[in-house]
Amino acid sequence: MSDFEDRFGDALEAVPEEHVDRSRFVPGVGPLDADVVLVGEAPGENEVAEGEPFVGQAGRELDRVLADLGVDRSSVYVTNLVKVRPPENRTPYVAEIDAWRPVLDAELERISPTVVVPLGTTATRAVLDTDEGVTDLHGRQFERDGWTVVPAFHPAATFYDETKRDEFEADILAAFEAAGLV
């Protein structure tokens, strides 16, 4: 946690102790001047093992799409709503998302991206403060807290529904076009 703590320690201190587990903690990674921030819901097992978001199968799909666009992943900031893997890899509870929200807010404030890309329904609902899911909102642009938000399908959706692959690619393209990067 050390480098992340140096950058976002004040926000981390705001997270209630019952929501902090250093053994399952995964910080956001990437440049602090990134034009695009990708936001997932929470780390999985591979992410905890490697200490970085989106390094498992979904991360490989994300990397493939970024590479196809000519985007170097190291130029993008990648994080999650919740920085601690929920038990049994379940979807984070609202209380967990709320507890970690000050950290995401601090990341976004510090980075000040052009575009924020929530990946999947959980992230989309939290970032846009809506009850609508990503299926209804993906690929469209919204203004929220001074940032352009372009929701995208979660890369894992492409594993369960092959038809989502083209939509996921189009969503990521729309986000990078909105940032003026492709």
- pLDDT value at residue 58: 95
Task: Report the sign of the C-alpha dihedral through residues 71, 127, 96, 110, in that order.
Answer: positive
The reported pTM is 0.95
What pLDDT sits at residue 145? 87
**pLDDT tens by residue, 15-63:** 999 999 999 999 999 999 999 999 999 999 999 999 999 999 999 999 9
Read off the pLDDT band of 75 (50, 70, 90).
very high
List, for residues 93-149, the tens digit of each pLDDT value.
Answer: 999 999 999 999 999 999 999 999 999 999 999 999 999 999 999 999 999 988 999
Q: Alpha-carbon distance 136 to 74, whole Å?
A: 30
Indicate the pairing of strand 147-149 with strand 77-80. unpaired
- Whether the pLDDT of residue 78 is over 90: the answer is yes
Could you tell me which of 30, 53, 55 has the C-alpha nearest to residue 43? 53
Domain 2-178, CATH 3.50.50.60 — does that match? no
Structure confidence at residue 3 (pLDDT): 87
pLDDT over 70 for what percent of the chain? 99
pLDDT tens across 140-159, in order?
Answer: 999 998 899 999 999 999 99
